[in-house]
Protein backbone atom coordinates (compact mmCIF):
# COMPACT_ATOMS: atom_id res chain seq x y z
CA UNK A 1 0.00 0.00 0.00
CA UNK A 2 1.46 3.42 -0.99
CA UNK A 3 2.10 6.23 1.45
CA UNK A 4 -0.83 8.32 0.21
CA UNK A 5 -3.23 5.40 0.52
CA UNK A 6 -1.97 4.62 4.01
CA UNK A 7 -2.57 8.20 5.02
CA UNK A 8 -6.06 8.26 3.54
CA UNK A 9 -7.00 4.95 5.15
CA UNK A 10 -5.79 5.96 8.59
CA UNK A 11 -7.59 9.29 8.41
CA UNK A 12 -10.84 7.65 7.39
CA UNK A 13 -10.68 5.16 10.26
CA UNK A 14 -10.38 7.88 12.88
CA UNK A 15 -13.59 9.19 14.37
CA UNK A 16 -11.97 12.24 15.95
CA UNK A 17 -13.88 15.31 17.13
CA UNK A 18 -13.78 19.06 16.68
CA UNK A 19 -14.78 22.26 18.40
CA UNK A 20 -15.10 25.90 17.50
CA UNK A 21 -12.53 28.49 18.55
CA UNK A 22 -12.17 32.12 17.54
CA UNK A 23 -13.76 32.42 14.08
CA UNK A 24 -12.82 28.96 12.87
CA UNK A 25 -12.85 25.31 13.81
CA UNK A 26 -10.22 23.11 15.46
CA UNK A 27 -10.17 19.54 14.19
CA UNK A 28 -8.57 16.79 16.28
CA UNK A 29 -7.35 13.88 14.18
CA UNK A 30 -4.43 11.53 13.53
CA UNK A 31 -2.54 9.89 10.69
CA UNK A 32 -0.37 6.84 10.37
CA UNK A 33 3.29 7.68 9.83
CA UNK A 34 6.09 5.15 9.99
CA UNK A 35 3.40 2.63 10.99
CA UNK A 36 2.56 4.67 14.13
CA UNK A 37 -0.61 6.67 14.74
CA UNK A 38 0.33 10.31 15.23
CA UNK A 39 -2.07 12.92 16.62
CA UNK A 40 -2.54 16.53 15.58
CA UNK A 41 -4.90 19.48 15.87
CA UNK A 42 -5.75 21.56 12.79
CA UNK A 43 -7.14 25.08 12.95
CA UNK A 44 -9.26 26.00 9.91
CA UNK A 45 -10.48 29.62 9.85
CA UNK A 46 -13.94 30.41 8.55
CA UNK A 47 -12.25 32.53 5.88
CA UNK A 48 -11.12 29.29 4.21
CA UNK A 49 -13.50 28.51 1.32
CA UNK A 50 -11.36 26.18 -0.77
CA UNK A 51 -8.83 28.67 -2.11
CA UNK A 52 -5.13 27.78 -1.99
CA UNK A 53 -3.82 28.83 1.43
CA UNK A 54 -0.52 28.67 3.36
CA UNK A 55 0.08 26.04 6.04
CA UNK A 56 2.06 26.60 9.25
CA UNK A 57 3.36 23.78 11.42
CA UNK A 58 3.35 24.96 15.06
CA UNK A 59 5.35 22.64 17.31
CA UNK A 60 5.06 22.42 21.09
CA UNK A 61 7.93 22.30 23.56
CA UNK A 62 9.35 19.41 25.58
CA UNK A 63 6.72 17.92 27.98
CA UNK A 64 4.03 20.11 26.37
CA UNK A 65 1.37 19.17 23.82
CA UNK A 66 -0.62 20.44 20.85
CA UNK A 67 -3.48 21.80 22.98
CA UNK A 68 -1.18 23.89 25.14
CA UNK A 69 0.77 25.14 22.13
CA UNK A 70 -2.39 26.20 20.32
CA UNK A 71 -3.62 28.15 23.32
CA UNK A 72 -0.25 29.59 24.29
CA UNK A 73 0.88 30.87 20.89
CA UNK A 74 -2.69 32.00 20.01
CA UNK A 75 -2.28 32.24 16.24
CA UNK A 76 -6.02 31.81 15.62
CA UNK A 77 -6.97 35.50 15.27
CA UNK A 78 -4.06 35.94 12.84
CA UNK A 79 -5.12 32.91 10.80
CA UNK A 80 -8.69 34.24 10.70
CA UNK A 81 -7.54 37.47 9.10
CA UNK A 82 -4.57 36.28 7.02
CA UNK A 83 -6.38 33.12 5.81
CA UNK A 84 -3.93 30.33 6.53
CA UNK A 85 -4.26 26.89 8.10
CA UNK A 86 -2.24 26.01 11.19
CA UNK A 87 -1.53 22.49 12.35
CA UNK A 88 -0.41 21.62 15.89
CA UNK A 89 1.10 18.11 15.87
CA UNK A 90 1.86 16.05 18.96
CA UNK A 91 5.29 14.61 19.61
CA UNK A 92 5.82 11.14 21.04
CA UNK A 93 6.48 10.17 24.64
CA UNK A 94 8.50 6.92 24.53
CA UNK A 95 9.99 7.50 27.97
CA UNK A 96 7.33 9.62 29.64
CA UNK A 97 7.77 13.17 28.39
CA UNK A 98 6.37 14.14 24.99
CA UNK A 99 9.04 15.56 22.71
CA UNK A 100 10.32 16.03 19.13
CA UNK A 101 13.21 13.88 17.98
CA UNK A 102 15.37 16.57 16.41
CA UNK A 103 18.35 14.26 15.96
CA UNK A 104 18.48 13.26 19.63
CA UNK A 105 19.00 9.61 18.77
CA UNK A 106 15.54 8.17 19.42
CA UNK A 107 13.66 5.92 17.02
CA UNK A 108 10.86 8.42 16.29
CA UNK A 109 11.12 9.77 12.74
CA UNK A 110 9.56 13.19 13.18
CA UNK A 111 10.91 14.51 9.88
CA UNK A 112 8.92 11.78 8.13
CA UNK A 113 5.90 12.60 10.30
CA UNK A 114 5.99 16.26 9.22
CA UNK A 115 6.36 15.26 5.57
CA UNK A 116 3.44 12.80 5.86
CA UNK A 117 1.35 15.37 7.72
CA UNK A 118 1.79 17.93 4.94
CA UNK A 119 0.81 15.30 2.37
CA UNK A 120 -2.25 14.15 4.32
CA UNK A 121 -3.58 17.68 4.87
CA UNK A 122 -3.02 18.42 1.21
CA UNK A 123 -5.44 15.62 0.35
CA UNK A 124 -8.35 17.33 2.10
CA UNK A 125 -7.51 21.02 1.85
CA UNK A 126 -6.22 23.27 -0.89
CA UNK A 127 -2.74 23.82 0.55
CA UNK A 128 -0.36 26.19 -1.23
CA UNK A 129 2.61 23.83 -1.11
CA UNK A 130 4.94 26.73 -1.92
CA UNK A 131 3.87 28.39 1.35
CA UNK A 132 4.47 25.80 4.07
CA UNK A 133 6.32 27.01 7.18
CA UNK A 134 7.38 25.69 10.58
CA UNK A 135 7.65 27.42 13.94
CA UNK A 136 7.76 26.23 17.52
CA UNK A 137 8.52 26.78 21.16
CA UNK A 138 11.73 25.44 22.74
CA UNK A 139 11.98 21.80 21.56
CA UNK A 140 9.53 22.83 18.81
CA UNK A 141 11.91 25.59 17.73
CA UNK A 142 14.79 23.11 17.77
CA UNK A 143 12.71 20.77 15.60
CA UNK A 144 11.98 23.62 13.19
CA UNK A 145 15.73 24.12 12.72
CA UNK A 146 16.04 20.38 12.17
CA UNK A 147 13.38 20.56 9.46
CA UNK A 148 15.28 23.39 7.76
CA UNK A 149 18.26 21.06 7.50
CA UNK A 150 16.36 17.84 6.70
CA UNK A 151 13.16 18.86 4.89
CA UNK A 152 14.18 21.96 2.91
CA UNK A 153 12.22 20.83 -0.16
CA UNK A 154 8.91 21.20 1.72
CA UNK A 155 9.44 24.05 4.22
CA UNK A 156 9.87 27.61 2.86
CA UNK A 157 10.98 29.29 6.13
CA UNK A 158 11.18 28.62 9.87
CA UNK A 159 10.92 30.53 13.13
CA UNK A 160 12.13 29.45 16.56
CA UNK A 161 10.98 30.84 19.89
CA UNK A 162 13.35 29.92 22.76
CA UNK A 163 14.88 27.16 20.60
CA UNK A 164 18.36 26.75 19.16
CA UNK A 165 20.53 24.44 17.09
CA UNK A 166 22.30 21.55 18.77
CA UNK A 167 26.08 21.65 18.95
CA UNK A 168 26.25 18.24 17.26
CA UNK A 169 24.65 19.61 14.09
CA UNK A 170 27.99 20.67 12.62
CA UNK A 171 26.93 19.66 9.10
CA UNK A 172 23.40 21.05 9.26
CA UNK A 173 23.06 23.19 6.14
CA UNK A 174 20.38 22.90 3.44
CA UNK A 175 21.47 23.15 -0.19
CA UNK A 176 19.52 26.37 -0.66
CA UNK A 177 19.12 29.78 1.01
CA UNK A 178 16.81 29.45 4.01
CA UNK A 179 14.98 32.29 5.84
CA UNK A 180 15.24 31.99 9.62
CA UNK A 181 13.81 33.95 12.54
CA UNK A 182 14.95 33.42 16.14
CA UNK A 183 13.20 34.96 19.17
CA UNK A 184 15.14 34.45 22.40
CA UNK A 185 15.50 35.87 25.88
CA UNK A 186 18.91 36.58 27.37
CA UNK A 187 17.74 35.20 30.75
CA UNK A 188 16.41 31.94 29.32
CA UNK A 189 17.45 29.31 31.87
CA UNK A 190 16.22 26.33 29.83
CA UNK A 191 17.89 26.98 26.48
CA UNK A 192 20.54 29.53 27.50
CA UNK A 193 21.14 32.42 25.13
CA UNK A 194 24.90 31.96 25.58
CA UNK A 195 24.65 28.23 24.89
CA UNK A 196 26.01 25.26 26.83
CA UNK A 197 27.23 21.73 26.17
CA UNK A 198 24.04 20.90 24.26
CA UNK A 199 22.82 24.11 22.64
CA UNK A 200 24.70 26.54 20.44
CA UNK A 201 25.10 30.21 21.39
CA UNK A 202 22.19 32.10 19.81
CA UNK A 203 24.53 34.69 18.27
CA UNK A 204 26.46 31.86 16.60
CA UNK A 205 23.21 30.34 15.31
CA UNK A 206 22.21 33.65 13.76
CA UNK A 207 25.69 34.11 12.29
CA UNK A 208 25.64 30.61 10.79
CA UNK A 209 22.40 31.30 8.91
CA UNK A 210 23.51 34.81 7.95
CA UNK A 211 26.67 33.38 6.38
CA UNK A 212 24.75 30.51 4.81
CA UNK A 213 22.34 32.95 3.14
CA UNK A 214 25.11 35.45 2.27
CA UNK A 215 23.25 38.27 4.04
CA UNK A 216 24.73 41.66 4.89
CA UNK A 217 27.19 41.47 7.78
CA UNK A 218 25.72 44.54 9.50
CA UNK A 219 22.07 44.20 10.53
CA UNK A 220 19.28 46.73 10.42
CA UNK A 221 18.62 47.34 14.11
CA UNK A 222 15.28 48.37 15.59
CA UNK A 223 14.65 48.90 19.29
CA UNK A 224 11.15 47.66 20.05
CA UNK A 225 9.24 50.38 21.95
CA UNK A 226 9.05 49.52 25.65
CA UNK A 227 5.27 49.74 25.83
CA UNK A 228 5.04 47.39 28.82
CA UNK A 229 7.05 48.75 31.72
CA UNK A 230 6.13 45.91 34.09
CA UNK A 231 7.46 42.90 32.12
CA UNK A 232 11.06 43.49 33.31
CA UNK A 233 12.39 43.11 29.75
CA UNK A 234 13.08 44.98 26.52
CA UNK A 235 13.63 43.80 22.97
CA UNK A 236 15.74 44.65 19.93
CA UNK A 237 15.09 43.35 16.42
CA UNK A 238 18.09 42.63 14.16
CA UNK A 239 17.45 42.08 10.43
CA UNK A 240 20.15 40.68 8.18
CA UNK A 241 18.99 41.43 4.64
CA UNK A 242 20.10 41.03 1.01
CA UNK A 243 20.64 37.28 1.27
CA UNK A 244 20.70 35.04 -1.75
CA UNK A 245 17.28 34.76 -3.41
CA UNK A 246 15.94 37.25 -0.87
CA UNK A 247 16.47 34.99 2.18
CA UNK A 248 16.87 37.06 5.36
CA UNK A 249 17.73 36.23 8.95
CA UNK A 250 16.04 37.94 11.88
CA UNK A 251 16.71 37.94 15.59
CA UNK A 252 14.48 39.31 18.32
CA UNK A 253 16.83 39.58 21.28
CA UNK A 254 14.78 39.96 24.45
CA UNK A 255 16.99 41.47 27.13
CA UNK A 256 16.22 39.86 30.49
CA UNK A 257 13.56 37.79 28.73
CA UNK A 258 12.67 34.34 30.06
CA UNK A 259 11.96 30.97 28.42
CA UNK A 260 8.64 32.26 27.11
CA UNK A 261 6.65 33.35 24.04
CA UNK A 262 6.56 37.18 23.81
CA UNK A 263 3.06 38.56 23.87
CA UNK A 264 1.59 35.35 25.28
CA UNK A 265 -0.47 34.59 28.36
CA UNK A 266 -0.13 33.24 30.94
CA UNK A 267 2.96 35.26 31.74
CA UNK A 268 5.95 33.03 32.50
CA UNK A 269 8.55 34.96 34.52
CA UNK A 270 9.74 37.88 32.35
CA UNK A 271 7.48 37.31 29.35
CA UNK A 272 8.02 40.29 27.09
CA UNK A 273 4.80 42.14 26.24
CA UNK A 274 6.31 44.78 23.95
CA UNK A 275 5.65 42.72 20.82
CA UNK A 276 3.67 39.67 19.81
CA UNK A 277 5.85 36.79 18.62
CA UNK A 278 3.02 35.18 16.64
CA UNK A 279 2.31 38.38 14.71
CA UNK A 280 5.99 38.82 13.90
CA UNK A 281 6.40 35.20 12.81
CA UNK A 282 3.56 35.52 10.30
CA UNK A 283 4.93 38.88 9.10
CA UNK A 284 8.24 37.07 8.49
CA UNK A 285 6.77 33.95 6.85
CA UNK A 286 4.46 35.70 4.40
CA UNK A 287 7.42 37.16 2.49
CA UNK A 288 8.59 33.77 1.23
CA UNK A 289 7.64 31.12 -1.30
CA UNK A 290 9.50 27.86 -1.73
CA UNK A 291 10.04 28.37 -5.45
CA UNK A 292 12.12 31.49 -4.88
CA UNK A 293 14.78 29.24 -3.35
CA UNK A 294 14.40 26.06 -5.41
CA UNK A 295 14.43 26.54 -9.16
CA UNK A 296 11.79 24.61 -11.07
CA UNK A 297 10.41 23.21 -7.82
CA UNK A 298 8.03 20.36 -8.50
CA UNK A 299 5.02 20.56 -6.23
CA UNK A 300 3.58 17.07 -6.23
CA UNK A 301 -0.19 16.90 -6.05
CA UNK A 302 -2.05 13.73 -5.18
CA UNK A 303 -4.07 12.18 -8.00
CA UNK A 304 -7.22 12.81 -5.98
CA UNK A 305 -6.62 16.54 -6.21
CA UNK A 306 -5.82 16.44 -9.91
CA UNK A 307 -9.16 14.75 -10.64
CA UNK A 308 -11.45 16.11 -7.96
CA UNK A 309 -11.83 19.55 -6.46
CA UNK A 310 -14.35 19.79 -3.63
CA UNK A 311 -15.24 23.16 -2.10
CA UNK A 312 -15.94 24.94 0.18
CA UNK A 313 -14.59 23.03 3.16
CA UNK A 314 -15.84 23.74 5.85
CA UNK A 315 -19.29 24.07 4.20
CA UNK A 316 -22.59 25.55 5.32
CA UNK A 317 -25.02 24.82 2.48
CA UNK A 318 -23.72 23.29 -0.77
CA UNK A 319 -20.66 21.26 -1.75
CA UNK A 320 -19.38 21.66 -5.30
CA UNK A 321 -17.30 19.11 -7.21
CA UNK A 322 -15.22 20.25 -10.19
CA UNK A 323 -13.03 18.71 -12.91
CA UNK A 324 -14.91 15.43 -13.19
CA UNK A 325 -17.89 14.29 -15.27
CA UNK A 326 -20.47 11.50 -15.08
CA UNK A 327 -20.13 11.28 -11.33
CA UNK A 328 -22.24 9.91 -8.51
CA UNK A 329 -22.10 11.49 -5.05
CA UNK A 330 -23.29 10.37 -1.64
CA UNK A 331 -22.56 11.48 1.93
CA UNK A 332 -21.80 9.12 4.80
CA UNK A 333 -21.07 9.70 8.45
CA UNK A 334 -17.91 8.68 10.28
CA UNK A 335 -19.22 5.13 10.70
CA UNK A 336 -20.09 4.70 7.03
CA UNK A 337 -23.86 5.16 7.35
CA UNK A 338 -25.37 6.82 4.27
CA UNK A 339 -26.70 10.25 5.28
CA UNK A 340 -27.50 11.67 1.83
CA UNK A 341 -28.46 9.20 -0.88
CA UNK A 342 -26.71 9.00 -4.22
CA UNK A 343 -26.86 12.03 -6.52
CA UNK A 344 -25.70 12.34 -10.13
CA UNK A 345 -25.09 16.10 -10.12
CA UNK A 346 -21.88 18.00 -9.34
CA UNK A 347 -23.55 19.79 -6.43
CA UNK A 348 -24.87 18.31 -3.23
CA UNK A 349 -26.96 20.16 -0.65
CA UNK A 350 -25.70 19.52 2.92
CA UNK A 351 -27.58 22.35 4.61
CA UNK A 352 -29.79 19.86 6.44
CA UNK A 353 -26.88 18.10 8.14
CA UNK A 354 -26.01 18.78 11.75
CA UNK A 355 -22.62 20.30 12.52
CA UNK A 356 -19.93 17.64 12.27
CA UNK A 357 -17.47 15.72 10.11
CA UNK A 358 -18.69 13.69 7.12
CA UNK A 359 -17.33 11.89 4.06
CA UNK A 360 -18.26 12.72 0.46
CA UNK A 361 -18.10 9.52 -1.59
CA UNK A 362 -17.35 10.23 -5.25
CA UNK A 363 -17.75 7.62 -7.99
CA UNK A 364 -16.43 8.48 -11.45
CA UNK A 365 -16.78 5.43 -13.66
CA UNK A 366 -14.62 2.76 -12.04
CA UNK A 367 -12.69 5.26 -9.90
CA UNK A 368 -13.81 5.98 -6.36
CA UNK A 369 -12.60 8.76 -4.07
CA UNK A 370 -13.58 9.80 -0.57
CA UNK A 371 -13.16 13.34 0.75
CA UNK A 372 -13.60 14.36 4.37
CA UNK A 373 -15.53 17.61 4.88
CA UNK A 374 -16.78 19.69 7.79
CA UNK A 375 -20.36 20.88 8.07
CA UNK A 376 -20.52 24.09 10.07
Res 14: pLDDT = 36
Q: Yes or no: is domain 3-292 CATH 3.40.50.620? A: no
Query: Residue 309 in contact with residue 323, Cβ under 8 Å?
Result: yes
Give the span between the Cα atoms of 249 and 239, in whole angstroms.
6
Query: Residue 22 in contact with residue 13, Cβ under 8 Å?
Result: no
CB atoms within 10 A of CB 193: 20
Give the span between the Cα atoms of 312 and 49, in whole angstroms.
4
Res 301: pLDDT = 41
Q: Which residues of the chain have pLDDT under 70?
A: 1-22, 95, 296-308, 323-325, 334-336, 365-368
Query: Residue 231 in contact with residue 271, Cβ under 8 Å?
Result: yes
Alpha carbon 32 to chain centroid, angstroms: 18
What residue segments make up the domains of the chain, in order of their start?
3-292, 309-375
Res 10: pLDDT = 31
Whether the link from the prior residue into 266 is cis, omega within 30° of 0, is yes
Q: Exposed/middle/buried for 65, CB within 10 Å: 0-12, 13-18, 19+? A: middle
Q: Exposed/middle/buried for 366, CB within 10 Å: 0-12, 13-18, 19+? A: exposed
The CATH-assigned architecture of domain 309-375 is: Sandwich (2.60)
Amino acid sequence: MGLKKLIITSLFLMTGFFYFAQNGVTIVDSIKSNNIMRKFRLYVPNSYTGQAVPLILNLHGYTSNSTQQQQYSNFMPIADTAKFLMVFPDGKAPAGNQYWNAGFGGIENDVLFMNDLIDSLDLFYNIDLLSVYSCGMSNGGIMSYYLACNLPNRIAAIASVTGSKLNVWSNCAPARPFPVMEIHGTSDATVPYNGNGTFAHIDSVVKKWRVHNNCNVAPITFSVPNISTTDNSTAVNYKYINGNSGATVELYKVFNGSHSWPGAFPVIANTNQDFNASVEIWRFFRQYKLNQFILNVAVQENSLKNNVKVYPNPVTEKLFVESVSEIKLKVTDLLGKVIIAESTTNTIDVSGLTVGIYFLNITNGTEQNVVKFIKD
